[in-house]
Amino acid sequence: MSSTDISPATLSSVGRPPQPSAFSNALVFGWRAMLKFKHVPEQLFDLIMTPLMFTLLFTFVFGGALAGSTGDYLQFFLPGILVQTVVFNSVYSGMGLSTDLSKGLFERFRSLPIWSLSPFAGLMVGDVLRHGIAGLIILGIGLVLGYRPEAGFPGVVLSFLLLFAIGFGTGWIFLVLGLLIRTPMTVMTIGFTFIFPLVFASNIMVRPETMPGWLQLFVNNNPVSHMTTALRGLMAGTASGADVALALLAPVLLTVLLAPVVLWLYRRN
Amino acid sequence: MNDATPAKALSLVREDIPLAISVRGLVKHFGDVKALDGIDLDVPRGIIFAILGPNGAGKTTLIRVLATLTKPEAGTALVMGHDLAAEPQAVRGAIALTGQFASLDEDLTGRENLIMLARLWGFAGRRAKARADELLAAFDLSDAAGKQVKSYSGGMRRRLDIAASLIVTPGLLFLDEPTTGLDPKARQGVWSMIRQLAQSGVTILLTTQYLEEADQLAARIAVIDHGRKIAEGTSRELKSAIGSGFLHVAPADPARLDEAEAILEQRLGGTAQRSPEGAQLSIVAGSPKAANEALAALIAAGIELADFSMGSPSLDEVFFALTGQPLEESEQEERR
């Protein structure tokens, strides 16, 4: 490859096209997130394996003991594992952000005349894709194993909308971490330190009735429990408006509180 | 030496604004470190302008401020006729930045990186692809277009990185240490690319730690240190201030070192420095002619030379000549 072959002088000189809309910028970042699935299919494996193992282990190992039969337990557990999957997977946007920042890619984005928040919008698009793909696969496996959402197709659609809202809300935690921490692995470790107790001390795996009183107090007020209760209700067709509102409380609060923090951290430099 | 490259004006270059960059009194701190300490700078249009300085001099910070990535605490700047503080978005529309570290998505292919950026600029599907392919061909990357960037060599990354800055032909291109970390052959390739870009009318502001690079490419050079400009001029002007370099002389008989030192100082003025081992003398020579005469005087005095050489001035020597102090390796350049 000789240097004489390089001839930027032959490049036509190109002027700026009309300013693209913020929405079309965000779509480009979404397209990038999809390309990542194509080039790094391993991340899909990460996404699916943990919830898959949880589903199979809890259903077949503990299910009979916890709920009398594996079928009954699956019916109880599957909505919860969907919540867990989405909450765990929102760590990926924080890790992706941290990687982009450490590689200097955001420097280029920030020097472009684009809507300054579109990279974040793109991360969110990527999240929705991830949550959608992972959720559908887990639900599919559940259906094969005998899970039946009583509310049928509309219940499933409403449940997924709630899942996206949950993912959107928890995503902000990891965006803040991603902006603060330059090593993706540390983002994951710190993120999971927060998330693990919330997920396990909830009503995802078992009903809280057998727990000690102080723990019941925590579990019953844990936002992850509210999310799980609402999702079970939506799948079964028994959710009240109050259930859903309670489930949305944490995502809404997180968005209101953390979105400005993310913006401030991003523009701080 | 590269004297002022003629600006073949592009249609997008507004001739009525003579300066690409006009900076007054920029100040930026990082904690206690003054990265920019009231710097002034005027960069004319259509030339390659080099910012020469050691690590930690504030080069990267200056470029980051001018590319709207970080806000200065004091001072004003006009970039391509737009006020940096008041119209950052207009500045972003007129510039392109290639940072010190390749700002590419390593998981994506080279072509996908360019298509992504073309779409962000607002090119629709087919035009974005056409522009990406045109850039890949011009930068000799067509063969690697479909490969993930993580498999690229350093030179290929740098070329793709620069190509990514040319999606829309910028009026002004910032190149932060464009050849740091490249092997000599890749460096030559990047140099020839930069020259051709300048010929097509793009104003280029580059930073470098190498005097040779500034000398090879730039019509004007500003030397900065500790966030201040300590000298500015053409390569020729700077060299005449510095001298054309150091004359190094090693007498065959170390006993006659003092005698040789006296002759050199008398002929060339200034003070000769002894090498740590004490066998070699180094002194600034005003010109090759003066160096030649000094050597002739040594031989006339019967001092035999084991070795002599003429070194073009290194960055250390430039600093020594300009500041009277040796170059201290200051803190690593702050990136944020």
Question: Are B221 and B273 found together in one domain?
Answer: no
Backbone angles phi, psi at B90, to 5 degrees: -70, -40
What does the pLDDT read at residue B129?
Answer: 94
Tell me which residue has tokens 């005027």: B42
For chain A, the farthest-separated pair of C-alpha atoms sits apart, in whole angstroms, at: 77
Question: Are B206 and B288 found together in one domain?
Answer: no
pLDDT in tens, B15-29: 555 789 999 999 998
pLDDT at A152 over 50: yes
Which residue of chain A has the CA closest to B144?
Answer: A1
The range of the structural domain enclosing residue A77 comes to 22-267
The range of the structural domain enclosing residue B102 comes to 19-107+148-240
Question: Are B70 and B176 found together in one domain?
Answer: yes
Could you tell me if A24 lies within 8 Å of chain B, comparing CB atoms?
yes
Question: Are B199 and B99 found together in one domain?
Answer: yes
Quote the CA–CA distance of B131 and A27 in Å, as a whole number: 19
CA distance B225 to chain A (A): 22
Collect all residues with Cβ–Cβ distance below 8 Å to A264 and sequence separation of at least 6. none
Collect all residues with Cβ–Cβ distance below 8 Å to A205 and sequence separation of at least 6. A58, A62, A66, A77, A80
Q: Which residues of B touch A118 (CB under 8 A)?
A: 120
Could you tell me if A34 lies within 8 Å of chain B, comparing CB atoms?
no
Q: Which residues of B touch A108 (CB under 8 A)?
A: 97, 99, 103, 117, 164
Question: Are B235 and B255 found together in one domain?
Answer: no
Query: What's the CA angle centered on A166, arms A165 and A172, to 5 degrees?
Result: 95
Q: Of the candidates A7, A24, A269, which has its C-beta nearest B336's C-beta? A: A269
Query: Considering chain B, what is the average pLDDT of its residues?
Result: 84
Quote the CA–CA distance of A247 and A269 in Å, as a whole number: 35
What does the pLDDT read at residue B284?
Answer: 80
What does the pLDDT read at residue B24?
Answer: 93
Q: Mean pLDDT, to the nearest integer, of A242-267?
A: 90
Residue contact B134–A12, C-beta within 8 A: yes
For residue B29, the surrounding DSSP H or E stretch is: strand B19-30
Residue contact B196–A35, C-beta within 8 A: no
What is the count of structural domains for chain B?
Answer: 2
| pTM for this entry | 0.76
Question: Are B91 and B56 found together in one domain?
Answer: yes
For chain B, the farthest-separated pair of C-alpha atoms sits apart, in whole angstroms, at: 77
What does the pLDDT read at residue B13?
Answer: 44
Q: Which residues of B touch A100 (CB under 8 A)?
A: 105
Burial A164-187 (b: 16+ CB within 10 A, else e): bbbbbbbbbbbbbbbbebeebeeb
Higher pLDDT, B201 or A154: A154
Question: Are B269 and B178 found together in one domain?
Answer: no
Q: Mean pLDDT, to the nearest integer, of A171-197?
A: 86
Contact B301, B266 (CB under 8 A): no
Question: Are B190 and B269 found together in one domain?
Answer: no
What is the count of structural domains for chain A?
Answer: 1
What does the pLDDT read at residue B325?
Answer: 63
Give Cα B115 to chain centroid, integer Å: 29
Residue A113 within any structural domain of the chain: yes
Could you tell me if A38 lies within 8 Å of chain B, comparing CB atoms?
no
Residue A97 within any structural domain of the chain: yes
Quote the CA–CA distance of B19 and B46 in Å, as a whole number: 9
Residue B195 within any structural domain of the chain: yes
Structural Rg of chain B based on CA atoms: 23
What does the pLDDT read at residue B31?
Answer: 83
Cβ neighbours of A220 (radius 10 Å): 14
What does the pLDDT read at residue B17?
Answer: 52
Residue A106 within any structural domain of the chain: yes
What does the pLDDT read at residue A99?
Answer: 82
Closest CA to A187 of A169, A172, A174: A174
Question: Are B274 and B232 found together in one domain?
Answer: no
Question: Are B158 and B278 found together in one domain?
Answer: no
Contact A187, A211 (CB under 8 A): no
Residue contact B104–A105, C-beta within 8 A: yes
What does the pLDDT read at residue B324?
Answer: 64
Strands of the sheet with B82-83, listed across from one edge = B33-44, B19-30, B74-79, B82-83
Residue contact A108–B99, C-beta within 8 A: yes
Quote the CA–CA distance of B244 and B149 in Å, as a whole number: 42
Residue B230 within any structural domain of the chain: yes
Size of interface A-B (CB pairs under 8 A): 139
Residue B56 within any structural domain of the chain: yes
Give the confidence band of A6 by pLDDT, cuts at 50, 70, 90.
Answer: low
Ranges in chain B, pLDDT < 50: 1-14, 329-336
Collect all residues with Cβ–Cβ distance below 8 Å to B301 and sequence separation of at least 6. B259, B263
The ipTM assigned to this model is: 0.79
Which residue of chain B has the CA closest to A101?
Answer: B103
Give the confidence band of A1 by pLDDT, cuts at 50, 70, 90.
Answer: very low
Residue contact B103–A35, C-beta within 8 A: no
Q: State the CATH number of the domain containing residue B41.
A: 3.40.50.300
Q: State the CATH number of the domain containing residue B276.
A: 3.30.70.2030
Residue contact A110–B123, C-beta within 8 A: no
Residue A15 within any structural domain of the chain: no
pLDDT in tens, A96-141: 888 888 777 888 888 888 887 788 877 887 888 888 988 998 999 9
Residue contact A6–B106, C-beta within 8 A: no
